[in-house]
Amino acid sequence: MEFLEKSGVGKIVESVKTKDKQCKGRKGYNPYNLFAMIIYCFAKFKASLRDIEDKCIFDLRVLYIMEGNIPDHSVIGDFINEYIIPYQYEIFTTITKQIIKDFNLTIEDIFVDGTKLEANADKYKFVWKPTKYHTRLDIKIKELLKEMGYVPNSNKLIKAEELNKLLKDYASINQIEIPIPTSRGKRLSKEQKNYKLAYQYLTKLLEYEEKERICGKNRNSYYKTDKDATAMVLKKRLLF
């Protein structure tokens, strides 16, 4: 509270007029206290509107900030939409300037960490770098290529582009019609079966190469919703 008072952010919050002064009814909550309480809850807790409302009832620190008043979750939501969001730049610029002043910070140098963390992390939202799967697939591809009459390089992983060229060459030499018929009762030759399996491997290889390209050299995972974010999922223990 003392820090917010020094920053002067209260003047910005109190200057916002959302209702007509002539409107008669119950006196509203102090906007300055509401703002301080919301900032505190966002900094300390999971700041859902319902959770903030509960903190106003059960948390003594939040009760102290609100001076014993208990706003409804809808009031908190309306305050955020009407007071904070439209003036967020002015409000948080003022707070940042006060932080710089109080802690004697220099802003000449900018340090960019580059780490991005996904909100509401879930194990179904991220993709692991398929290093092991890629290696296993490479072994299967090389075994199939030997059966098809090719001698792959065993020292490095075969690339999707290279496999695609070999498949085109194999189809041309063995006069395989593309697409291969898939109707029931149609017997496929050995060459057709090899081509069909190799094409499945090629599709999977393209998928693995794309995932590895997104991860890069320094990451082992990424999120489906935000490919720049690294997956950091905490395990939850169930206590019985």
Tokens 């399996």 sit on residue: 197
For residues 122 and 91, membership in a common domain is answered with no
Residues 11 and 43 in one domain: yes
Higher pLDDT, 126 or 173: 173
Portion of the chain with pLDDT greater than 90, in percent:
38
Return the biggest CA–CA distance within the chain.
90
Specify the pLDDT at position 139: 93
Please report the pLDDT score of residue 137 as a whole number: 94
Distances (CA, A) of 34 to 56, 57, 79, 97: 10, 14, 8, 21
Structural domain that includes position 227: 115-127+221-240
Q: Is residue 76 part of a domain?
A: yes
Q: How confident is the model at residue 237 (pLDDT cuts 50, 70, 90)?
A: very low
- Same domain (yes/no): 229, 208: no
For residue 14, pLDDT over 90 is answered with no
Q: Is the residue at 95 inside a domain?
A: yes
d(CA 38, CA 47): 8
Closest listed residue to residue 3, CA positions, set 102, 151, 127: 102
Mean pLDDT, rounded, of the chain: 83
Residue 34 lies in a domain: yes
Same domain, 121 and 239: yes
Residue 136: per-residue pLDDT? 94
CA angle 44, 50, 56 (to 5 degrees): 60
Specify whether 8 is located in the same domain as 75. Answer: yes
Lowest mean pLDDT among 33-47, 65-79, 127-141, 176-190: 176-190
- The confidence score (pLDDT) of residue 207 equals 94
Looking at the structure, tell me whether residues 39 and 80 fall in a common domain.
Answer: yes
> Which tens digit of pLDDT belongs to each residue from 201-221?
999 999 999 999 998 888 888
Pair 178, 199 in one domain: yes
Q: Is residue 110 part of a domain?
A: no
Same domain, 9 and 91: yes
Is the distance from CB of 129 to CB of 219 less than 8 angstroms?
yes
Q: Which pLDDT score is estimated for 37?
A: 92
Q: Is residue 107 part of a domain?
A: no
The one-letter amino acid at 110: I
Specify whether 206 is located in the same domain as 171.
yes
Q: Which carries the bigger pLDDT value, residue 142 or residue 181?
A: 142
Q: Is the pLDDT of residue 180 over 90?
A: no
- Count structural domains, the chain: 3
Q: What is the pLDDT of residues 18-34, one digit of tens each?
A: 544 454 556 678 888 89
Using the predicted structure, report yes or no on whether residue 231 has a pLDDT greater than 90: no
